[in-house]
A and B are shown apart, each in its own frame.
Chain A
Amino acid sequence: MKKSVIYWLLLPGFVFLAAFMIIPIVLTIGSTFFQENSFTFEGYMHFFRDPYFLKILLTTLQVSVVTTLVCVVLGFPTAYYISQKAPRRKGILLALAIFPLLTSPVVRSFSWMIILGRKGLINNALVGLGIVDKPLDILYTPAAMMIGLTHLFLPLMIISLVGVLENIDNDLLKAAQSLGASRITAFRRVVFPLAVPGLVIGAVLVFVGSLTAYTTPALLGGKQRVIATFLYQNAMTLNDWYLASVVAAIMIVITFVVVGVMNKMAKTLNPKG
């Protein structure tokens, strides 16, 4: 196999992305460092000196991280369960898992209102059972936001994980068990590390999705602001694309850092992944 062939395989995709995305984005982000033709960090300093902005940034990161973790915790066992099913069942379950992606955010938020609202199913049940005497405020809190985001992104996590899990040789799990690992330990020590490549993809999708999501936090999140709110306000209402690009650049850097850290962690779990 000639080395040059490798590059020919990569070239079309590379040229396409470079021409239509990389160059435009680099130019757009690059322009945030120039105001009136001189190089400046002004746009960025403005944000990082502002404790208010930093607090929102932190809140957003928290929400994204928690959502990602929740998706891992919910998605991993489910994906594993799906991957162990006979082919036919597997297909049906995967199909069911992706249905949430097909619903409009607005109707979805309406259904969450039905479930989480003060007169919603959960509160009715809680009050009815006498567990609480006043309906809980769940809707329009950060928790609701995370529930909505989890509902939105969990399918991506599940699909990514099923993709790797179904290719893990069952004998490995058996080998681990025969060496004394309980099902859980075998899972943790063997299946989990081997699933890391899929986990990383899933986690990146969920994290980035949560970080940049606008509609779901806006609809379910009550008064809580997230960083995407600023981006949208600046871009769409205030027509300030300079600031929008600054916020975007900050978000991009954060994602790259987080993805980098995740890859690092993945490497220690599965050096051969």
Chain B
Amino acid sequence: MREKHIGLGLFSLLVFIFLLGPLLIISVTSFEPGTVLKFPPEGFSLRWYENIFNTGGFLRTFQTSIIISLLGNLLALLLGVPAAYALSRYDFKGKSVLNALFLSPVLIPGIVLGFTLMKYLIVIYHLPMYLGLLIGHTIIMLPFIIRVIASSLSSFDFAVEEAALSLGAGRVRTFFQIVLPNIRSGILAAVLIAFLESFNNVDISVFMTGPGVSTLPIQMLTYVENYFDPTIAAISVLLMVLTGLLMFVIERIMGGFSYFTKR
């Protein structure tokens, strides 16, 4: 049976080459000493990495991006997890409507959503810019959180939940101690997708940034409108390294990616 996997493995390898090949090129070009992206690079230099740290905007907006993405994620989890639970555990009237509703932020072109949010949150509701940015990001994360968690709950054996209840655990406690640990992989996947979605977001952020408030993608966008050097490639590489480290930490601290294991 092992041999049968070879075809599949080969196919997956090609897909991974497709996904990662361009990243390899980016990584290589980020070491270009010259002021213009080149492939193959004409030498080796870390100057564009230095440039990231010397250009004030990147660190500052990186921080903002992280904070917004994390806070938004937390908020989306608080709002989304109960909803996902209700949607996958129970049958009730209006379920399909609510399902569609919770998915809807994905279905609206980002720029229109961004513009509308700016018009309403900032202009009409008079929310501070930072809060507006947070709400906007929460909105776009919510569907990912709800759908991914709901789909992993749909394969959860709820008899296990009943067992916990019968042993005296309250509903809330059962949820946190029994249900949650068993859908870890779903939660982690949801959080990851949502985080990336938010971290990379341009459409919403473009409208929700203002004097002193900006996110990394916006900063990067601004940068490439004016510069052509490999700094952005270097940032991409750093982000990948950072993600890699994060994964490594998850692996080490939380006992590995058993988070992604079945049941």
Contacts and interface: CB of A to CB of B under 8 A. Distances in A.
Interface of A: 1, 3, 6-7, 9-10, 12-14, 16-17, 20-25, 27-28, 74-75, 77-78, 80-82, 84, 87-88, 90-104, 106-108, 110-112, 114-115, 151, 154-156, 159-160, 162-164, 166-168, 183, 197-198, 201, 204-205, 208, 211-212, 214-215, 228, 231-232, 235-236, 241, 244-245, 248, 251-252, 255-256, 259, 273
B25 A24 contact: no
B49 interface: no
B19 A97 contact: yes
B155 to A, nearest CB: 4
A164 B107 contact: no
A248 B111 CA distance: 9
Nearest to A1: B90
B154 interface: yes
Given A9-B85, A82-B12, A252 B109 contact: yes
Given A16-B79, A82-B12, A110-B37, A22 B101 contact: yes
B104 A22 contact: yes
A80 to B, nearest CB: 7
Size category of the binding interface on chain B: 35 or more
B133 interface: no
Given A92-B247, A107-B236, A244-B112, A160 B148 contact: yes
B177 interface: no
A72 to B, nearest CB: 12
A244 B110 CA distance: 12
| Main SS class of interface, A | helix
A77 B152 contact: no
Interface in B77-116: 78-80, 82-83, 85-87, 90, 92, 98, 100-113, 115-116
Interface string B130-142: 0000010011001
B100 to A, nearest CB: 8
